[in-house]
Structures are given as structure tokens and as C-alpha cells.
Amino acid sequence: MVKILGDLSPVYVVGIGFHPYQHASDTPYVALGLQAIREALTDAAIAWEDVQSSYVATALLGMAAGRPMLRHLGAHGQPLVHIENASASGSTAFRHACLEVGAGISDVALVVGVDKRTSPVFRAPTGVPSLADDAIVPATHFALLADEYCSRHNVAPEDVALVAVKNHANGALNPNAQRRKVRTLEEVMTRPIAGTLTALQCTPIGEGAAAVIVASEEGIRRLGIDAGRAVRVVSSAAGSEKAGNQTNPDTALSAEIMAQAIREAQIGPRDLDVIEVHDAFAIEELLYAEATGICEQGEFIPLLKEGAFDIGGRCAISASGGLIAMGHPIGPTGVGQVGEIVRQLRGEATGRQQPGARTGLAHMVGIGAVCYVHVLQK
């Protein structure tokens, strides 16, 4: 009989840390990563020697970037693995650290995501010819999905842009966000990129780092970690795209994996207080939010306009600012989502706290496509 995370020993996030996401700079990735890791160790009040296993999520740094970073914490010889899974690299690393700790292989594990922007991203050719892949980049793909959604649900482009207005406002409250400026709808609607998507509705790929420490009950007890600030990881679900000529495989896949994560957490979608999704483009937040089941298809925009998804609304979506405002440095992003949810569930998200937040969901897709969803609960 196969097992799910909930069948294993309970796993908790006990420490979170960041290097703020930012535009490309001369700061070496080693400095970015070390800042996030040290902050997470301090937050958990444990020493580097207490970490028994490390997962390094990075998509853009090249081969084996982790060891030249971790060595500066004091080399203690514990296992280390690198995980690359496109935008979902950090979420994937988090899942596997949780599985290792839940299985009892380790009591305490580090997950760190770190990246610096490189352009263009190298991918070896597949040998399969394409008609217009050079014309259809991610922004174009999501512009087509926005056009499809707007015609189906009779929604104006300005309505979709309201997602970005909300997320920029949230990002302005987050010291770790790359974009920290409140934007009006008029500002968001300037600088078109593809279709109705504008620059401020697209993620600004940058750089940064995020780290979390996961621990078992045994690890918490042994190291004297404050169990009152520990946040349990109640479910972890993952999947990859199936064959089909659908125009929107990311959403179909997300709906399936979110449903699995919510079911395994033994909750309903309307129990979610905070959600972080892969909102690299404004239309994505809308599609994935509907895919969680927190509202019906076509209901997102009216509810957004009522403030249902604001901080203080019925479910805060992208309270961190999301990929649109907090940023999307690739490797760190999924780890940073978990960090944000932990902060919210601890009640420590000063200035952007969702009142009474108890349950949160983190969702990432990675090009290809893969999908990773985690539910956390306090």
C-alpha cells in the first residue's frame, strides 16, 4: 500500500529565512543563500551542526552550486542534494525534505532555494520540430489563456489587471519583496507585453534566496525547538502533465493536484485562510484560485472586487505580493511561499497579517509541466 505524507511521522517547519528578492546585482549567489540559511537557523534557534540533510533548489546556477555555499557554514559532512524542477524547484526540494523527515531518515533538514537570473536559459534540444515556439514564450502563452478566459466569462482586461493591483499592494508591505510599490489600475495597464498582459502583470524575474528548516517531533524535542512556533505540513501532492490537446494544461493539472493536497489534508477548499499560487502572470492567479475550489469557475473577479482575496478578506491570496510583486527568482520561489505561509500561520506577518490564519496552501507549477502543492496548518 503506498503512503502519503499524512501516513508518515508528523513534519513541521521550524525555521524560515530570506535574502530579499531583488533585481539582478553583483552579489554572488553564495552571499544570497547564506543570508537566508543563517536567518532560518536563527529563527529555529538551532545550529548548523543540528541539520542532518540539505536540499538545494536551483534552476539557473549550473552544476552542484550548493557545496561552495554550504561549506561556509562549517563543513560537517552531512548529505546534500541539488534539485532542479523549473519554477517548482523549491517546492520539489521542500517535498523531498518533508518525505525524508517524515520517514525518519533525518530529524532536521534544510531546504534552501537560491538563484541568479541568467538569460537565455539553456535547454538541450529535444529533436522534435516546432511551428512557432520561438514566438510563443510564457507571456504569450498566458496572454492566450487570458483572451480565452475573458471571452468565456465576459471579463474585461482591466478586471484581470486588478489581481496585479492587489499583489503590488501586498508586496509593498513585504520587506523581502522585489517590487515594493503600490500601483494604481492605470499604472498597471500601461506597457503592454502580449495581448492584454502588461509589464506590471508579469513577474520580474530577479534573484534572491529563501530557506526553511523542517523537523520531526523527535527533532523538536531533542533540540529544544519552540513547538509553539512550529507549523505542521499536513499534505504534499505532486504530479506532471498528461497527454492531451488542451490549451490550458497547467490549470487542469493544478486542479487535480490541489484537490489531492486538500483531500489529504482532510479539509475543504473553503477552510483555506491564505494561499500562495504561481501567479507569474495575473491571469494565472485567477485560474489557479478557481482551480483550488475556493470559488466557482467565473466567480473569481466579482469576489476579487468585493475584497474577498485581500488581506483581511475571506482568503488572502498572494499576501506576500506573489510572484508578481514579491518576485520569482525560480529556485527560491516555492521555498519562499512556504516561508510566507509559516509566517502567516504563526501570526508574525506584521503589517500584512491575515487575521486568524490557521490553514494555508502553497502551489507552484514548473514549465513542462509539473505541479507541487502543500497544505500547512497551525
Partner 1 sequence: MRDTAKMMQTGLGDELFQPTGASGDSAPPALYGGRCNSCGYVFFPPQSYGCERCGSTKIDRTELDGRGTLIASAVVHRHLDPARPAPFIVGSMELERRVVVRGLIEAGQDALAPGCPMETMIVAETRPDRGSTDIRFRPAV
Min dist. Cβ of residue 329 to partner 1 (A): 19
E-strand ranges in the chain read: 11-22, 53-57, 80-83, 108-115, 192-194, 197-198, 207-216, 231-240, 274-276, 316-317, 359-366, 370-377
Q: Which is nearer to partner 1, 6 or 138 (CB)?
A: 138
Nearer to partner 1, 298 or 313 (CB): 298
CB of 58 to partner 1, least distance (A): 23
Under 8 Å between Cβ of 292 and 315: no
Whole-number Å distance between alpha carbons of 52 and 99: 14
d(CA 85, CA 74): 28
DSSP state, 110?
Answer: E
If binding is defined by CB under 8 A, does position 280 make contact with partner 1?
Answer: no
88-127 footprint of partner 1 as x/- string (CB under 8 A): ---------------------------------------x
Q: Are 247 and 241 in contact (CB under 8 A)?
A: no
User: Which of 130, 154, 184, 350 touches partner 1 by CB under 8 A?
Assistant: 130
Stretch that binds partner 1, among 6-14, 193-201, 213-221, 328-336 (CB under 8 A): 193-201
In 219-354, the DSSP E strands lie at 231-240, 274-276, 316-317
Size of the chain, expressed as the number of residues it contains: 378
Q: Is the omega angle on the peptide bond into residue 120 within 30 degrees of 0, that is, cis?
A: yes
Least Å from the CB of residue 146 to partner 1: 8
Q: Report, in Å, the least distance between residue 272 CB and partner 1.
A: 29
By CB under 8 A, what part of segment 139-178 binds partner 1?
A: 140, 143-148, 151-152
| Binding pattern for the stretch 207-246 against partner 1, x by CB under 8 A and - elsewhere | ------------------------------------xxxx
Give me the residues that bind partner 1 (CB under 8 A), please: 127-132, 134-137, 140, 143-148, 151-152, 192-196, 243-247
